[in-house]
Amino acid sequence: MSFDRHLAEIAREFPHWTIWRSDAGRWWATRHHPISAAQREAGCAMTIDADDPDGLRDQLRDQE
């Protein structure tokens, strides 16, 4: 599957996140809105990254 297709699918699946791939090839996601102190204490992050699209999806699922 192409980079653009992966990007579009993940963005559709997780609409509250901005998804991108860095020049170094890592996949990133950042939330559209700040998280609360309680969310941070529960392990939520504003921005996450992974080696590949599947890894990013896994992390996004854990964050939701």
Task: Read off the pLDDT of each residue in 24-48 and give the average, rounded to a whole number.
Answer: 96
The pLDDT assigned to 2 comes to 83
Q: Is the pLDDT of residue 61 over 90?
A: yes
CA distance 12 to 8: 6
Q: From the CB of residue 60, how many other CB atoms can be counted at a distance below 10 Å?
A: 19
Q: Is the pLDDT of residue 3 over 80?
A: no
Mean pLDDT of the chain: 94
Condensed to tens digits (0 to 9), the pLDDT of residues 9-35 reads 999 999 999 999 999 999 999 999 999
